Structure 1
Amino acid sequence: MYKAFFGLAENPFSLSPNPKYCYMSERHTEALAHLSYGLQEGGGFVLLTGEVGTGKTTVSRCLRRQLDDETQLAVLHNPTLGPLELLQCLCDELQLAYEPAAGLKGLFDLIKMRLQENLAAGRRTVLLIDEAQHLTPEVLEQLRLLTNLETDEAKLLQVVLIGQPELQQLLQQPLLRQLAQRITARYHLLPLSRADVDAYVRFRLQVAGCLQPLFTPSAITVLHRVSGGIPRLINLICERALLGAYGAGQPRISPKLVRQAAEEALGYGQRSSSAPGLLFALCGAAFLAAGWFGWQQWGWLPTAPVEEVTVTVKQPVDADLVSRFQEARQLASEESGALQQLYRVWGYEVTLDEADCSQAYRADLRCELGAGSLDDLLALDHPAVIRLVDEDGLASYATLLQVEDQQADLLLGDESWRVDLSWLKQMWGDDYTLLWAVPAGSGGVISVKSRGPSVQWLETALSQALGEPARTLRRFDSTLADRLRRFQQQEGLAVDGVAGPQTLIRLNARSRTGMPRLVLRQDSPAEQGES
């Protein structure tokens, strides 16, 4: 109905999974790279989690297209199965004939023979399970037994588990600890950033035949807020916004149209009370008189449209907003709450009582307790729990999520706020706690005594960081030692030739693959006034 009005050849925001509308953001690309790396390493399990609508299916489709002809792929879309049904479905996917009365052992032996046949023929076998949060512990244990089949070099069967964040909680059950230890790569897919939302909308409009930006810069900002960066919600809101603009005879989409579309399509009428999905919408900006800093609170849009508050340093402050911010700081007096949110950033759900550094090992992570300036933390490029101390000595703990354009996003309890870096430096409490991913087989340290995968990881990471070609390596040689020392000197670290936590954290940050990062690139182009 609106296609001719906007010069579109087709509907750009259809929910149908059309491959030509597949937009791979930086986060989706990272997720794909991480899964591909996990399969290349020959491990038993690879894990992808994310909130509903973040694009897990998009990543899985791209992963399937990347698999070569030497891979036999089995795909399960309905994981609500028992152990026997699982083996039956796997036999069907592997094109194995079996007797209807065949039991677990008979089916297991059939699958084992096929896996061995594939290995002898130079093929690998991959099982991909979507909506894996519905798997029962019994079925997951059966999968683990299948991955016990291996050679000295690799597993005969590799399993890709794709699911919602509840899958992480499922895998933390004590009876599944053996399976959790076999996950060689994992990635938690976060929603799109504001810059990615802009690129996503432009991309889909261009594919549909419209080369002009229909959404104003401010409309894109509001779209990011009300959708939380979830592609599926973006499509719903954009579809309704185009209809609204067509009905009003407006050639461009304004912020007001986006707000109205969000209310009609999604029925926002309450604020979000949970933070794992980071679905927050910007609702205000002000400067606190005591410190003259700018901050913004994030929450769901209320039913009635709310105009943005445009404030300068000289303007008075919204007293209610200031009071809510001060209250949020007072309630954030316990470090465990901020650590719980930090685990969620990495895709892990822990209870408040469990939110301490001891849980990092269960998640194949490490906990780094540091002391230094904000600039020191920015150099590490990892989200972290930080301590804030005001002029009255009141301490509070926040989760520092991202830094961009001289502003930082903080979580105080379940509320997200944007603050100026100048204010953050004034409130800085010197110490921080961050989580970081440990290279496989390293134990947190890679030195001249190390062998195998950890040495290759270090060789690859140093080569990327220094812009030099990587080699295939299994032993820590003099060339690797030289590269390590040069990198340590470049980063201002102790030049000891040992890749300890500080070195590994920086190498993780430089690799830009498969992990949350703290410092975002600036939006480009910068948001300007509307024409």
Structure 2
Amino acid sequence: MYTQFFSLTQPPFSIAPDPRYLFMSDRHREALAHLLFGVGSGGGFVLLTGEIGAGKTTVCRCFLEQVPEHCELGYIFNPRLSVEELLQSVCEEFHIALPASASVKAYVDAINRYLLDCHAQGKNNVLVIDEAQNLSAGVLEQLRLLTNLETSERKLLQVILIGQPELRSMLAEPGLEQLAQRIIARYHLGSLSEQETGSYVGHRMAVAGAVGAPAFPPALTPLIHRLSKGVPRRINLLCDRALLGAYVENTLQVTRAILRKAASEVFHEQGEAPAHKRWAMLAGGVLAGAAISAAALQLVPQQRQAKSVAVPAAAPAPVAAAIPNGHESAAPALRELAALWGQTLSMGDPCEAALLQELRCLQGKGGLYEMLQLDRPAVLTLRDGPLTRHAVLVALDDDKATLSVAGVRRVVTVAALAARFDGSFITFWRAPRTFRDHVPSGGQGADVDWIAARLAQLDRADAPASGQLLDADMQKRLRAFQAAQGLKADGMAGPRTYMRLNQLGGVAEPRLLAQRKEH
């Protein structure tokens, strides 16, 4: 109803699941990384919890789109089931022929035979259970028993439990202690920060075609965050109703008063507004319910036209369980990392020395999935009791990783690495010294021209003239690119955007996945 008034192509806060509206905050990325780690670790259970509307389903659907090809996947959405019904659902999800005898033992025997057959074929099986807070203690115990079947390396069935916060309390009960001990990764998905809330609203408006002065001025972000508590579903409800209110009041910008009135209507926190004054009635009774968009969008897109610098080959090494002792300081590891880029760094601060070679340091915090997404060697910080060590991650595959310390390489399991990796990393990215780490809105210069040329190359358009501006139009294109690549869609050019443009533009650089892609 209000889309034409705001010159939008569609409602930006609609409940329709549209992949273009996918917004992955740092918290959502971390949650996804935990799920993906659980698949490759060979463990039993992975736990993801979060408040209603926090985006668990969004993370789950992204995960479902990225399950490795060798994994057979089962998904149970409504787990208000008895033990027999659960086992029957497992059989149906994995297409297991139902036994003639409908007993618990017959179901379990059929599932075990299936898991052994899959293992013989080199396949893994992952069972995802959404709304798992609805599982009974008896059903949870049966799930634990299903995961008893294992080899010396891995469980033959991995279970991912996704549910509301009370699921954590359930698993803390003494009767479920054995199951809780089998949880190899757990993550609680919190709400968006104030900054992420602003980015989320701006992203959805931009995807819907918003141009010109924003309908939600940046000054409203703290109030939106406070009223919605940073929960995506509440943000959708609030902003949809606020746009409806602005439309009714014939103003192109949402005000604080409109926002507060919208909150009182959708959250009922300040009492019901009189029926004859409600915007929904004035606007023809349009319902304003909305939920966070769920999208099946791959976050590690297929590389196009990318050239990888060959990492010097090492003799094949057996997969080892032990992580090598790393450097006490990150400096020697960074110099070793620079060698993969064909550079030798002088003594002193490695990051300052790297600038002379047109390399920039990027320090971050994430998980192994973050490493897969960046797709470049990096110096990892490893826990060694109370101490920390540093090693170069040279290659990363589905189930193994190659670490290098002082030029000596060792192949280890992903599970062993994840147990020691504290999430901190440093990597390099290439950019001329004249480029800025972050290009501000309205910026102009050689780096802006480079960004415009890269975007044109990806769009297969003619190369733009020099003197480009990072204006509203370019920011819109940049946000669309960032959203498609699983980056924070803020329309600002930062290191991760540069990296992705480099990769897709064919800039030669080392890759983590190069060895795997060659086979």
Scaled to the shorter chain, the TM-score interval is 0.5 to 0.7
8 Å contact kept, 1:459–1:471? no
**Aligned AA (2:85):** E
Does the alignment pair 1:240 with 2:241? yes
Q: Does 1:94 align with 2:94?
A: yes
Corresponding position: 1:189 with 2:189: yes
2:228 aligned with 1:227: yes
1:465–1:511 Cα contact (<8 Å) kept: no
Shift of 1:508: 2.9
Deviations 1:116-150 (A, max 9, x none): 11111111100000000011111111111111111
Maintained 8 Å contact 1:129/1:160? yes
Partner of 1:178: 178
Contact 1:74-1:94 within 8 A present in 2 as well: yes
d(CA) in 2 for partners of 1:156, 1:466 = 33
SS in 1 for 2:98: coil
Distance 1:72 1:477, change over 3 A: closer
Alignment match, 1:157: 157
Q: Secondary structure at the match of 2:118?
A: helix
Following superposition, the deviation at residue 470 of structure 1 comes to 4.2
SS at match of 2:75: strand
Counterpart Cα distance in 1 of 2:173 and 2:407: 39
Whole-Å separation in 1 of the counterparts to 2:252 and 2:390: 49
Residues 91, 111 of structure 1: 8 Å contact kept? yes
C-alpha deviation, 1:254, in angstroms: 1.9
- The separation in 2 between residues aligned to 1:21 and 1:87, in whole angstroms, is 36
Q: 1: distance between equivalents of 2:393 and 2:60?
A: 29
What residue is the counterpart of 2:251 in the other structure? 250
Q: Are the aligned partners of 2:380 and 2:390 in contact in 1 as well (CA < 8 Å)? A: no
Partner SS for 1:510: strand
Partner of 2:56: 56
Residue of structure 2 in register with 1:396 after alignment: none
**Letter matched to residue 138 of structure 1:** G
Aligned to 1:146: 146
| Counterpart position of 1:404 | none
Distance 1:263 1:465 in 2: 53
Equivalent residue number for residue 106 of structure 1: 106
The offset of 1:511, in angstroms, is: 5.9
Shift of 1:20: 2.5
Contact 1:70-1:124 at 8 Å conserved across structures: yes
Quote how far apart the aligned CAs of 1:480 are.
10
Written as runs of structure 1 = structure 2, the 5 A alignment for 1:327-476 is: 460-462=380-382, 468-470=392-394
In structure 2, distance between residues paired with 1:223 and 1:247: 20
Structure 1 residue 268, shift from structure 2 partner: 1.1
What TM-score, normalized by structure 1, do the two folds share? 0.54
* Equivalenced residues, count: 308
**What is the CA deviation profile of residues 79-137 of structure 1, one whole-angstrom value per residue up to 9, with x for unaligned ones?**
11111111101001111222464211111111111111111111110000000001111
Identify if the C-alpha distance between structure 1 residues 139 and 466 changes in structure 2 by more than 3 Å, giving closer, same or farther. same
1:479 CA drift (Å): 4.8
Structure 2 matches for 1:23-62, cutoff 5 A? Answer: 23-62=23-62
Q: Aligned partners of 2:84, 2:425: CA distance in 1, in Å?
A: 41
Tell me how far apart the structure 2 counterparts of residues 209 and 459 of structure 1 sit (CA, whole Å). Answer: 40
One-letter code of the match for 1:244?
Answer: G
The separation in 1 between residues aligned to 2:242 and 2:200, in whole angstroms, is: 16
Contact 2:391 2:405 in 1 (8 A): no
| CA displacement, residues 270-302 of structure 1 (integer Å, 9 cap, x when unaligned) | 9xxxxxxxxxxxxxxxxxxxxxxxxxxxxxxxx
Equivalent pair of 1:127/1:158 in contact (CA under 8 Å): yes
Structure 1: distance between partners of 2:232 and 2:36: 23
- Return 198-207 or 466-475, whichever deviates more: 466-475
Q: Which of residues 400, 422, 430 is equivalent to 1:508? A: 422
- The DSSP-based 3-state class of the residue aligned with 2:96 is coil
CA distance in 2, matches of 1:103, 1:511: 51
- Contact kept in structure 2, 1:96 and 1:110, CA below 8 Å: yes
The reply to whether residue 128 of structure 1 matches residue 125 of structure 2 is no
1:76 equivalent in structure 2:
76
Instruction: Kindly indicate whether the alpha-carbon contact (under 8 Å) linking 1:79 and 1:129 is maintained by their aligned counterparts in 2.
Output: yes
User: Which secondary structure state, in structure 1, belongs to the residue aligned with residue 23 of structure 2?
Assistant: coil
CA distance in 2 between counterparts of 1:170 and 1:37 reads 23
What residue identity is the alignment partner of 1:265? V
Whole-Å separation in 2 of the counterparts to 1:64 and 1:88: 22
Residues in 2 aligned to 1:481 and 1:257: alpha-carbon distance in whole angstroms: 63
List gaps (5 residues or longer) in structure 2.
272-367, 369-377, 410-419, 427-439, 442-519
Q: Which residue of 2 aligns with 1:269?
A: 270
State the shift of 1:460 in Å.
Answer: 4.8
Question: What is the letter of the counterpart of residue 469 of structure 1?
Answer: L
Question: Percent identity between the aligned chains?
Answer: 46
**How far is the alpha carbon of 1:461 from its aligned partner?**
3.5
> Residues 210, 478 of structure 1: CA spacing in aligned structure 2 closer, same or farther, 3 A cutoff?
closer
Partners of 2:395 and 2:7 lie apart in 1 by 51
2:51/2:165 contact within 8 Å kept: yes
RMSD of equivalent CA atoms:
3.3
Tell me the distance in 2 between the aligned counterparts of 1:31 and 1:70.
22
CA distance in 1, matches of 2:394, 2:164: 35
Q: Alpha carbons of 1:113 and 1:211: their partners in 2 closer, same or farther (altered >3 Å)?
A: farther
Amino acid at match of 2:40: Q
Aligned to 1:260: 261
Q: Distance in 2 between matches of 1:244 and 1:269?
A: 17
Give yes or no for contact 1:460–1:471 (8 Å, CA) kept in 2: no
| Matched residue type, 2:200 | Y
Question: 2:422 is matched by which residue type in structure 1?
Answer: N
Q: CA deviation at 1:69?
A: 2.4
Q: Which has the higher contact order (CA 8 A, sep 6+)?
A: 2
Instruction: Tell me, in whole angstroms, the C-alpha distance in 1 between the residues paired with 2:15 and 2:5.
Output: 21
Unaligned runs of 5+ in 1: 271-438, 440-457, 483-503, 513-523, 526-531
Per-residue CA deviation, residues 221-278 of structure 1 (Å, 9 max, x unaligned), is 10000000000010011011001111111111122221111111111139xxxxxxxx
Q: Secondary structure at the match of 2:187?
A: strand
Q: Secondary structure at the match of 1:162?
A: strand
Find the residue that maps to 1:199 and give its secondary structure. helix
What's the offset of the Cα at 1:462? 4.0
